[in-house]
Amino acid sequence: MVVMDEAFSLFVRFVAPFVWRSETKTIKKFLSFSATEAGSALDMLKAAELEKDPRRRRLFFRHALDEARHSNYFRDQAKNMDPDFTGREGKYNLIHATRQNLYQNLCLTEFMAFVYIAEKRGESHFRSLMGHFKDRAAIHDMFARIVKDEQFHVRYSKRLLDEWSQEGRASEVKAAQRKILLNRAWGAWRRQGRRLGDLTSRLVLKIAYFIVVPPFSLMQYCLQRNPPSGWREAEQTTLNAEEIRRMY
Amino acid sequence: MKVIGISAYFHDSSAALVVDGEVVAAAQEERFSRIKHDSGLPVQAVKFCLDYSGLSIDDIDHIVFYEKPLQRFERLLVTHLSEFPKGSAQFVSSMGRWLSRRLWMKNEWMKQLGCRADQILCSEHHLSHAAAAFLSSPYHSAAIVTADGVGEWATTSIYRGITDEAGSRIEKLKELVFPHSIGLLYATITSYLGFEVNEGEYKVMGLAAYGTPRYLAEMEQLCTVHDDASLVMNMDYFCYHWHPTRAFTPALERLLGPARNPGAKLTLPAKTEDDRRYSDIAASLQKFTETYMLKLVEHAHKITGETNLTLAGGVALNCVANLKLLKEGPFKSIYVQSAAGDAGGALGAALYMTHVIGGIPRQPRETHAFLGASVDKGEVVRFFSDCGVPYKQFDNTTELCDAVVDRLLEGEVGAWVQGRFEHGPRALGARSIIADPRRSDMRERVNRKIKFREEFRPFAPACLTEEFNKWFILPDNRVEYMTPFMCCVAEVSEDGKRMLPATTHVDDTARVQRVEPSHNPLFHRLLTRFKERSGVGVLLNTSLNLKDEPICNSHGEAFATFMRSEMDFLVVENCLVTKVDCQRLSREGYRD
């Protein structure tokens, strides 16, 4: 995993000049980071709400507040960089976020493994960007503050996983980490598959539309009476026990 | 008899559980999934209903879908045949959805809900609306008018509902069919005005008050209304039946001028010619809708001879039109159920199966909307304690109400989370943001800093029943069934205009909620304490959510909303949290 993180960090540094090539791109990117962080905040807050262990609940809650603060950092940074800010304040007031319901969909060990892996990746990503923005003090400092928080998230999640390993659940922890890593790859594969499937089905349906529909359409055109308008008296006034069983 | 009703696959998916004629639970899926207007199968809402009642899916006798899916599919096919070759894009997207999922609805339900095929039944879209309206109303007999975008084929229907010794019956009398629809006209102009369909209709209603209806002739060109209240759309102006993303053709823009860009700033009262045009178009649409609805209910009265009216479907949520029906219509009494839109279809489907087909006797009575999930008091305290959130716990409700009133009188705005959440689109004092309505700056503050929404949108007042006639005017004081669910506006009295600037809209009306002690005792007590201290038994009441987000369900979601906006305090059950105390939390972040 360390090798993968290093590779990811190298990749981020390599593509950074392209990804962050203009102020407009940077503002857009910061707004998207802001939305992601806000989404993480909602997920961590839900975890805090549902978790029963007081220690973990407190950790999740604090993590949620950190993510919410990061979201605000990115939003405010985007706002400060926008020269046309006056007159469109609304754009930066509320960052829309989506919750992924991770805590509900994963078991606790998997959830912690997810937090550990995602935060480690995030820390590495933001550290690389800190380096990229070393000449822009405000952005550099912002990333430095975020990296510090991310380091803590990595530490606490690792500590919990380590504690469970020491309690004799090492294989479960390892399996959870493996599953999360595989899930990420599997998720990416499925997303691509879905895209391809969607494209294919659209193509097939488009062809079907122009081959299958025309004769029926022509038939309907020939048989067509005036299209229905005005009141239609009810042919059948109620729905009985037999009719409610039908899908038509 | 235990029946679950389900509405899904369009917008506002919902589930409702009726046990032996009692509505035990009902909730929209969006409250659990946090996806606004969630259209998926309401798996979490069904789970909530079962958990709440302690039943399992095997204990349920019937699961009733709110419409006939194959009839809707037939409409799509017939429309595509008649519009060939224009509708290829919509054909691809809609057939993709139908062939991959909706035609195999029963399999999906069995897999996701764990039910059996023989449990699944299908009602009709407008019949479900009609059943929700009539079977939850306090009437023994009534005319039922349903009007929405479109169901299977029907867009507007007239029914008669009767409950007598022989049981309950709902008889369909007549219907208008697709594409001729007052709901689709409203939706199309909503989209033309740059607002989102199924979401922006409230905004159009709010915007209408700022304009003058100088486009009525154009509206009549779009849609011809006959003497018998039937209507015919001029389809040269509309393409909702074949276009995948657009509802109107360029002809509409030639008639009314260029459509508004969804992101464009709208300043009201209008300062530019375009803004004036948009508000005038909204006013014309609203006026046209009101006139049509009046004609429709007059026709319903004529053919049914009933004195009571129940309204359902999305158009029934047009609270401004409802006032016109109350003032000028032929009916003595009008009832609109709390979830009059598609979310209520689930309830209607379950009630129809129970009372009409199942024969379970029905007791007509006024119902309430607090049918959703509740917040556990002990869990709230544990959450705040464990998370280190500073809070104050109150032993009795009088002290809690006094503390809240103190803050409201100081001009603070707060969230109020109590008991089970509401079924339907309105917050009625269970998941609400509350403020002092006497402050003229309050509307702008709540719109801009707390809800982050358009400045022109009005706020509703929640009013003690005993104070209603002091601040609001309804014809012949006919308040009894219209207002507990905020489904009708009322004119604001002279005293009201002077004392309630934050909740009085620009046209001197307000979408008022009448608060009954029997429905929501704690909210009633809060209003009473506020009245004792301020002389006004009215509070500004708006839903506890931010712009484009669903209303909150749990204490954690309420806390997140509280922290993301500029609300001053949050009350969850008997705990009070203030922003001043919480600011330390968000500043510090986590340290070892």
A180-211 residue pLDDT tens: 999 888 989 999 999 999 999 999 999 999 99
Domain residues for the domain of A77 are 2-203
Computed from CA positions of residues B246, B250, B252, B256, in that sequence, does the dihedral angle turn out positive or negative? positive
**pTM to 2 decimals?**
0.91
**CATH code at A36?**
1.20.1260.10
The mean pLDDT of A111-126, rounded to a whole number, is: 94
Q: For residue range B150-186, what is the model confidence (pLDDT) as tens digits? A: 999 999 999 999 999 999 999 999 999 999 999 999 9
Asked if B378 contacts B574 with a C-beta cutoff of 8 angstroms, the reply is no
Q: Please tell me the distance in Å from A17's CA to the nearest CA on chain B.
A: 31
Q: Which helix (H) or strand (E) holds B65?
A: strand B62-65
Q: Which of B99, B146, B547, B564 is the best mutation test for A, with the most CBs of A within 10 A?
A: B564
* Chain A residues lying within 8 Å of B172, measured CB to CB: 234, 236-238
Integer Cα distance of A80 and A74 in angstroms? 10
A199: buried, middle or exposed (CB in 10 Å: 19+, 13-18, 0-12)?
Answer: exposed
Integer Cα distance of B300 and B19 in angstroms? 32
A240 lies in some domain: no
Q: Do B174 and A233 touch (CB under 8 A)?
A: yes
Q: For residue range A37-85, what is the model confidence (pLDDT) as tens digits? A: 989 998 999 999 999 999 999 999 999 999 989 998 998 899 888 876 6
The mean pLDDT of B420-442, rounded to a whole number, is: 95
Edge-to-edge, what's the strand order for the sheet holding B2-7? B22-28, B14-19, B2-7, B62-65, B120-122
A238 lies in some domain: no
The tokens for A244 are 């409610």
A230 lies in some domain: no
Edge-to-edge, what's the strand order for the sheet holding B575-578? B392-393, B575-578, B569-572, B414-417, B431-435, B538-543, B460-464, B513-515
- Whole-angstrom Cα Rg for chain B: 24
ipTM of the assembly? Answer: 0.83
The tokens for A174 are 């390892």
In the predicted structure, residue B97 carries a pLDDT above the cut 70: yes
Q: For residue range B509-533, what is the model confidence (pLDDT) as tens digits? A: 999 999 989 889 999 999 999 999 9
- 3 state DSSP class of B431: strand
Helices (H), B331-448: 343-351, 377-387, 397-409, 442-445
Asked if A102 contacts A47 with a C-beta cutoff of 8 angstroms, the reply is yes
- 3 state DSSP class of B548: coil
In 3D space, the residue among B293, B71, B233, B125 whose CA is nearest the CA of residue A229 turns out to be B233
Picking from B84, B382, B452, the nearest residue to A90 by CB comes out as: B452
The mean pLDDT of B453-462, rounded to a whole number, is: 88
A218 lies in some domain: no
In the predicted structure, residue B592 carries a pLDDT above the cut 50: no
In 3D space, the residue among B249, B212, B568, B247 whose CA is nearest the CA of residue B409 turns out to be B568
A46 lies in some domain: yes
Domain count, chain A: 1
Angstrom distances, CA of residue B60 to CA of B5, B347, B350, B354? 11, 15, 11, 12
CA angle at A207 for the pair A203 and A211, rounded to the nearest 5°: 170
A235 lies in some domain: no
Chain-wide mean pLDDT for chain A?
88
In the predicted structure, residue B433 carries a pLDDT above the cut 60: yes
Q: Measured between CB atoms, does A240 come within 8 Å of chain B?
A: yes
Whole-number pLDDT of residue B591: 41
The mean pLDDT of B59-78, rounded to a whole number, is: 96
**Percentage of chain B lying above the pLDDT 90 cut:** 82
The tokens for A221 are 């055109």
Whole-number pLDDT of residue B263: 77
Whole-number pLDDT of residue B450: 82
Residues 25-84 of chain A with CB under 8 A from chain B are: 38, 41-42, 45-46, 48-50, 54, 57-59, 61-66, 68-69
Integer Cα distance of B420 and B429 in angstroms? 10
Integer Cα distance of A68 and B171 in angstroms? 54
What's CA B83's distance to the chain center, in Å? 33
Residues 207-226 of chain A with CB under 8 A from chain B are: 209-210, 213-214, 216-217, 220-221, 224
In the predicted structure, residue A230 carries a pLDDT above the cut 70: yes
Q: Which helix (H) or strand (E) holds A47?
A: helix A23-50
End-to-end C-alpha distance for chain B, whole angstroms: 56
Which residue shows structure tokens 């979830």?
B339
HEC secondary structure over B93-129: HHHHHHHHCHHHHHHHHHHHHCCCHHHEEECCHHHHH
Q: Please tell me the distance in Å from A82's CA to the nearest CA on chain B.
A: 17
Q: Is B264 left (phi over 0), alpha (psi -120 to 50) or beta?
A: beta
Question: Residue B22: what are its φ and ψ, rounded to 5°?
Answer: -95, 130
In the predicted structure, residue B336 carries a pLDDT above the cut 60: yes
HEC secondary structure over B275-317: HHHHHHHHHHHHHHHHHHHHHHHHHHHHHHCCCEEEEECHHHH
Asked if B67 contacts B123 with a C-beta cutoff of 8 angstroms, the reply is yes
A41 lies in some domain: yes
Q: For residue range B241-271, what is the model confidence (pLDDT) as tens digits? A: 999 889 999 999 999 999 999 878 888 888 8
DSSP string, B467-485: GHHHHEE-GGG--TTTTTT
Asked if B321 contacts B290 with a C-beta cutoff of 8 angstroms, the reply is yes
> Helices A54-81 & A23-50, crossing angle to 10 degrees?
160
A184 lies in some domain: yes
Q: Which of A53, A85, A238 is the best mutation test for B, with the most CBs of B within 10 A?
A: A238
The mean pLDDT of B192-214, rounded to a whole number, is: 93
Which amino acid makes up residue B590? Y
Q: Do B123 and A244 touch (CB under 8 A)?
A: yes
In 3D space, the residue among A89, A92, A99, A27 whose CA is nearest the CA of residue A67 turns out to be A99
Q: For residue range B106-163, what is the model confidence (pLDDT) as tens digits? A: 999 999 999 999 999 999 999 999 999 999 999 999 999 999 999 999 999 999 999 9
Integer Cα distance of B502 and B461 in angstroms? 9
Residues 6+ apart with CB under 8 A from A228: B177
In the predicted structure, residue A173 carries a pLDDT above the cut 70: yes
Q: Which of B81, B231, B261, B587 is the best mutation test for A, with the most CBs of A within 10 A?
A: B81
Q: Do A54 and B591 touch (CB under 8 A)?
A: no
In the predicted structure, residue A176 carries a pLDDT above the cut 80: yes
